[in-house]
Amino acid sequence: MNIAFADTFYFIALLSRRDRAHAEAIEFDASYLGRIVTSDWVLLELADAFSAVDNRQRFATLFDFAAISEGYEVVRASDADFDAGLLLYRSRSDKEWSLTDCISFTIMHRLGLHDAITGDQHFAQAGFNILLPRIVP
């Protein structure tokens, strides 16, 4: 079975019709047959991005779906993942990786995941296979 890590990039593209990667995210969502893993850290970043009053319900609906769907696994926030991500963040001052990305990278390594549902090139820089095309502004 395919297992891929879903990044904030994917969820924003999926939920926002105005996002440049929306069509690709919808197509991916309709065709992907594997399990999707994400994290509390990604969901926190997504909630922040959708904090406007008219966006909050879209986030809540996705959050509720991920919580009950057998096709999703949400890795709960832990001190160990935060500390490992912060260590990576501090050690890679040559990169523009966010702390959330660094935590995602460490979770992916810990779980043995290679595929990321994202178009964020930072995942490719970190050695992961990105499953959505990069959309150039």
39-95 confidence digits (pLDDT tens): 999 999 999 999 999 999 999 999 999 988 999 999 999 999 999 999 999 999 999
Q: What is the CATH number of domain 3-130?
A: 3.40.50.1010
Of 130, 77, 131, the C-alpha closest to 106 is: 77
102 - beta bridge partners? Answer: none
Per-residue pLDDT at 136 exceeds 90: no
Query: What is the C-alpha separation between 37 and 92, in angstroms, rounded?
Result: 25
pLDDT band at 115 (very low <50, low <70, confident <90, very high): very high
Residue from 134, 130, 131, 121 nearest 95 by CA: 121
Query: Parallel, antiparallel, or unpaired: how do β-strands 115-117 and 129-130 relate?
Result: parallel
